[in-house]
Amino acid sequence: MSNDLSLLSLLSNASLVVQLVMVLLLGVSVVSWTMIFKKSITIGRARKAADRFEQRFWSGTELTTLYSQITARKYIPSGMESIFEAGFKEFARLRKQPNIQPMEVLEGAQRAMRVVLAREIDELELHLSFLASVGSTSPYVGLFGTVWGIMNSFRALGNVHQATLSQVAPGIAEALIATAMGLFAAIPAVVAYNRYANATERLINRYDTFLEEFATILQRQVHV
């Protein structure tokens, strides 16, 4: 067994199973960081869009005017805009129907908004389960590589009459790299999951609060 303890030497001399574990953890780490950056952009945009729309909504603009402004734009609305658009569109459509009760109009608008809210929640929670899985399983995958590497090291020592530290160190060192890589993949994923799960929950609460407030406004208008 080679006594060269450089990182490249340890990686190249590791057993096939340990190398596969390291490659797997490296790939998971790359995908995890990609998801982290994408999630940061998605939540940041959603938060800014919610701030802008709330400012416009509570500025005193007529609901019909605000709806026309949203539908006239070429981009697809998201977040609060999409909830408002779906609710007001269904509200206006049902009000035109003859012999329909005011509560039926309100309930229809609320159902339309709830459907859009569910879609927005799915979009916000996308990739969070992946980060949670990486954070919870990566250390165990790395530990598996470590146990396998140490097991091979002790098996190799069974063929020698006298074991020395220089014979044991390379095998144990290459095995411990798997644990380090497991932690390297898990720690950012756990931190990102906790941060983005909290940010997502706060956004969902804002969406749900807006939905209830908008439904209250529609309830007053449906009796006009």
Instruction: Give the per-residue pLDDT at 158.
Output: 64
Average pLDDT for residues 159-178, to the nearest whole number? 67
Instruction: Give the per-residue pLDDT at 220.
Output: 86
pLDDT tens readout for residues 26-41: 899 999 999 999 999 9
Query: pTM higher than 0.85, yes or no?
Result: no
Percent of the chain beyond pLDDT 70? 85
**CB–CB of 49/58 below 8 Å?**
no
Both tokens of 133, joined, read: 């899985």
Q: Return the higher-pLDDT residue of 206 and 3.
A: 206
Continuous segment of H or E residues that includes residue 55? helix 16-57
Q: What is the DSSP string of 97-109?
A: STT--HHHHHHHH
**CA angle, residues 103, 107, 111, in degrees to nearest 5:** 175
pLDDT tens readout for residues 76-92: 788 899 999 999 999 98
Please state, in angstroms and rounded to a whole number, the distance separating the CA atoms of residues 7 and 194.
32
Please state, in angstroms and rounded to a whole number, the distance separating the CA atoms of residues 138 and 185.
6
The answer to whether residue 12 scores a pLDDT higher than 70 is: no
Please state, in angstroms and rounded to a whole number, the distance separating the CA atoms of residues 203 and 209.
10
